[in-house]
């Protein structure tokens, strides 16, 4: 995959997340690893997701050097190379301070399963000990797909950027349910039902379909067509 293709995918993911009101202000990062290299493409700090252009997606190395200098990068970017180093299977990372993932982070625990989509994250969500950047990556287990960062926000990861982004939208929904239902009389899904539902969702290609929907929403918002090959 070329640098232009990676850059285009990161930009499209930023716009797609913006379409779901994830990243309406300054802060949050979307990154994609350069295959076979200790480098990754990531968005700059001084634009919200909706405003990003291709010029706002920059190349960095794992030591924190901005290959294309002159732009402001988030001071919290360090967990990206940290995750890429400990999880070679991860090709993309999404981090936002979306309203519901941030509300969930105040509980410092994963969301409970109030809906079938919540089952993606049961037993696969890490919780960082705090929001110190150095503590985040080591909290991620070998099978985890999400991290709750206490008093901060959340991260989702996958081999593919589209799935990491779709997971983030889904995680935000799971968090919204948990924040609003935790003190209610509703009952979370029983453990013995979780695995069955997760397998059922896998057969429906829900995450792939969600990413396609996100791309269409982004394209409508920006008056363009979804990028090729994403």
Residue 140 lies in a domain: yes
| CATH number of the domain encompassing residue 136 | 3.40.225.10
Instruction: Give the separation between CA 175 and CA 141, rounded to whole angstroms.
Output: 20
Left (φ > 0), alpha (ψ -120 to 50) or beta: where does 223 sit?
Answer: left
Q: What percent of the chain has pLDDT over 90?
A: 76
Residue 80 lies in a domain: yes
pLDDT of residue 30: 98
Residue 43 lies in a domain: yes
Instruction: Give the separation between CA 99 and CA 119, rounded to whole angstroms.
Output: 21
Residue 117 lies in a domain: yes
pLDDT of 87-131, one tens digit each? Answer: 999 999 999 999 999 999 999 999 999 999 999 999 999 999 988
pLDDT of residue 224: 60
Residue 187 lies in a domain: yes
Residue 228 lies in a domain: no
Instruction: Give the separation between CA 161 and CA 34, rounded to whole angstroms.
Output: 12
Q: How many domains does the chain have?
A: 1
Residue span of the structural domain in which 158 resides: 3-222
Quick check: 227 pLDDT over 60?
no
Residue 230 lies in a domain: no
């Amino acid at each position: 995959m070329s640098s232009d293709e990676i850059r285009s995918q990161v930009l499209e993911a930023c716009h797609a997340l913006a379409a779901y009101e994830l990243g309406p202000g300054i802060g949050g990062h979307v990154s994609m690893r350069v295959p076979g290299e200790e480098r990754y493409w990531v968005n700059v700090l001084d634009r919200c997701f909706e405003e990003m252009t291709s010029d706002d997606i920059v190349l960095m190395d794992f030591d924190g050097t901005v290959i294309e200098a002159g732009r402001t990068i988030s001071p919290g970017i360090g967990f990206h190379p940290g995750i890429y180093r400990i999880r070679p299977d991860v090709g993309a990372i999404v981090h936002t301070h979306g309203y519901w993932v941030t509300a969930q982070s105040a509980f410092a625990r994963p969301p409970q399963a109030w809906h079938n989509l919540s089952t993606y994250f049961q037993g696969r969500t890490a919780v960082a000990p705090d929001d110190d950047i150095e503590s985040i990556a080591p909290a991620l287990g070998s099978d985890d797909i999400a991290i709750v960062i206490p008093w901060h926000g959340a991260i989702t990861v996958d081999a593919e950027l589209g799935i990491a982004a779709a997971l983030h939208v889904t995680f935000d929904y799971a968090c919204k349910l948990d924040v609003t239902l935790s003190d209610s009389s509703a009952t979370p899904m029983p453990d013995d039902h979780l695995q069955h539902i997760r397998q059922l969702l896998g057969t429906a290609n829900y995450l792939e379909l969600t990413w396609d929907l996100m791309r269409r929403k982004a394209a409508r918002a920006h008056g363009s067509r979804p990028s090729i090959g994403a």
